Amino acid sequence: MKYTENALSIFALGGINEIGKNMYVVQYEDDIFIIDCGGKFPDESLLGIDLIIPDITYLEENQDKIRALIVTHGHEDHIGGIPYFLRKLNVPIYATRFTLGLIELKIDEHRLRGDSKLITIDSNSRLEFGSVEISFFKVSHSIPDCLGIVFHTPEGNVVHTGDFKFDLTPANNQYADIHKMAEIGQQGVLVLISESTNAERKGLTPSEQMVGSHMDEAFIKARGKIFISTFASNVNRVQQVVESALRTNRKLALLGRSMVNVVNVAIERGYLNVPEGMLIDASEVDKLPAEKVAILCTGSQGEPMAALSRLASGNFRDVAIYPGDTVILAASPIPGNEKDVSKIIDNLFQIGAKVIYGSGSTTGMHVSGHGYQEDLKLMLTLMKPTYFIPIHGEYRMLHHHRMLGESVGVEKGNTFIIKNGDVVDIKNGTARQTRSVPSGDTYVDGIGVGDVGDIVLRDRKQLSEDGMLVIVITISKGDRKIISGPDTITRGFVYARDSDEMLKEVNRLVTKSVNDMHAENIRQWNVMKQNIKKSVGQYLFTQTKRKPMILPIIIEI
C-alpha cells in the first residue's frame, strides 16, 4: 500500500527514550497539532548548558500547517520549552486555567506576553479545525487541571492520555473521568498514545491521601522548625502542608522564587486554599518560636542554587536550619539527581536536623503522580485501542508498557516502540512506521538557544579535563622570522612555576617548528598552527599523559 502525505501521522520530537522534553505531534493532511512543549535539565556531561529543548526543525519548515499547541498540564517537562518555542513559532496555546497561569509566568519572564495567544480550555471543551475535532477528559496527576486529549479524525480517534494515575481519593477532589474514558473506548480508539514512566512498577499507585496522614504525624512529632521541600508545581502536596500546619498551629513561610510564584498563581486562581494570616515573610521566621513555624521550600532535586541546598550549606540569608529542626523531602529524586540529593541529606544530618526522606510506606511523604502497571492496564482496557504507541519513558519502560498492552488485548505487532522523529503513518486503518522527520536536542545556554553544538561541548569537555595552553608568537612580515616570543600561558593544565623546564621545551619546539616552516617557505597560517599543535601536543602527552587545548596565536608585524 502506498502511503501519501494525507495519511494520519503521529510522531514525537521529544519524550521518547528519555524522561523530559515532551513534545508530540498529530498531523492529519495539512493540519498539525502539537501536544506539550517541555524541557529537560542537562546531565553533568553537558558543561554550561542550562536546559535542553526539542529540535523543532520540522515544525519551522511546516509552520503554515500548525493549528494549535495543546498543553496537557503544567509540569516543567511539558511546558519548559514554550518561551523558546514562541520566539520562533507564534502558535495559539490551548491549556486549562491553572496550566495557563504557569505558562504566563514563563512568557512574562521572557517578555513574550504581547504576541502570545492563550486560550483557556477544560474537560468539556470541543475544538474544531477543518476535518479534525478535539475533545478532552480529566485525568488525575500530581498537579491540578490535567487533561487527556482525543483527536477525532476521519481515519479514527487518536487518544493522548497526558500524565496520569487512577487516584480514587485525590487530595484536590479532581477525580479522573473514568466514565468518559469508557465512553471514548466504546466509540472506538484507533491509536492510544500513553505515558510509560512507571511501567516497571507492579500494582496500583498509592493515593495522595496517604501522604496527608503521614504529613500530619510528622508535624505533630516535630519539636523545632519544620522545613518541607517539594516540587513547587505539586499544588496537592502544598495543600497538604498547609492543612498540617493549620492543625498544628504553625505559620508558613515560602522560600524559593518558583515556590512563591506557583503558590501565588494557585491561590489567585482558586486551586490552593490558604487561611488568611497563615503566610509569613522569610524575615519573620526567627521572630516566632521554632515550634510555631513551617517553611516550604524548593530544592527537592538537589539543585545547587535552590533554597534547600543553600539552607543545607548555611548560605540562606534570612533563615537557618538548627539541630533538632525537622526537614521533610516530599518528593523522590528524578533519575540522575540522586547524587545531588544525597549530598544535601548528608549536609542536613551533619547540621543535626531530623531528616525524613524516601517514598513508599517507610516515610509516606511522597507518592508518584504516574500510574503503576495496574493503572496503565486500566487505561488500556478502557480505551481498547487498535494501535498503541507507548511514550514518556526510557526504552525499558516503553518495552514493559508494550507487554502490559499485549496482556490486556492489544494485538501483537500493533504496538509501535518508536524513537524521537520516527513517524507512524495510518492510512485506511493500517499503520506503518517507515519514515522519520528531523529531531534531536537543542541546547539553551544563557540567552543563546541552539548556538552551542557538539564541537563547543567537546571543547568545554577538553578544557574541563586537561586545561589549555596559549602560545603567542610575533613574526616579521618581511623575512618571516620570530621577533618576540614564544610566550606560553597555561590555564588548568600545569602550574607554570613548577613546570619551568617543560614550558621552556615547549617554547623551543615552537621556535623550531616556525624556523623549519620558514626554511621550507610555508606561509599559510593554518598549516603553521597545525604543525605547532602537533609537535607541542605530542611532547606534552609524553610528559604528562594529558591533552590540553593548544591555542597558537601568531601576530604579524
- 43 annotated ligand-binding residue: no
- 355 annotated ligand-binding residue: no
d(CA 273, CA 263): 10
The CATH code of domain 208-363 reads: 3.40.50.10710
Contact 47, 460 (CB under 8 A): yes
- 163 annotated ligand-binding residue: yes
d(CA 514, CA 519): 9
Contact 118, 137 (CB under 8 A): no
- What single DSSP character describes residue 126? E
The amino acid at residue 131 is S
- 233 annotated ligand-binding residue: yes
Residue whose C-alpha cell is 507487554: 403
Q: Largest alpha-carbon pair distance within the chain? A: 88
pLDDT at 505: 80
Q: Could you tell me the CA-to-CA distances from 185 to 182, 202, 445 in Å, in that order?
A: 5, 24, 44
- 369 annotated ligand-binding residue: yes
Domains 8-203+368-444 and 454-556 fall in the same CATH topology: no
pLDDT at 533: 82
d(CA 195, CA 201): 13
Active site residue 133: no
Sheet holding 293-297, edge to edge: 279-280, 251-255, 293-297, 226-229, 326-329, 354-356
- 400 annotated ligand-binding residue: no
Active site residue 518: no
- 487 annotated ligand-binding residue: no
pLDDT at 363: 60
The CATH code of domain 454-556 reads: 3.10.20.580
Degrees to nearest 5, angle at CA 212 with 330 and 256: 35
The class that CATH gives domain 8-203+368-444 is: alpha beta
120-157: string of b/e by CB count within 10 Å (b at 16+)? ebebeeebeeeebebbbbbbbbbbbbbbbbbbbbebbb
The beta strands (E) that lie in 298-440 are given as: 326-329, 354-356, 385-391, 422-427, 430-436
- Low-confidence residues of the chain, pLDDT below 70? 1-6, 43-49, 335, 359-363, 445-465, 478-480, 495-498, 519, 522-523, 525
Catalytic-role residue among 160, 243, 303, 370: 370
Residue whose C-alpha cell is 605530542: 538
- 160 annotated ligand-binding residue: no
Degrees to nearest 5, angle at CA 346 with 342 and 348: 115
pLDDT at 3: 42
Contacts for 497-503: CB closer than 8 Å, 24+ residues apart: 502/540, 502/543, 502/544
Catalytic-role residue among 195, 208, 243, 303: 195
Contact 183, 177 (CB under 8 A): no
d(CA 467, CA 460): 9
- 401 annotated ligand-binding residue: no
Give me the residue spans of the domains in the chain: 8-203+368-444, 208-363, 454-556
Which residues on neighbouring strands pair with residue 148, listed in sequence order? 137
Degrees to nearest 5, angle at CA 169 with 163 and 171: 75
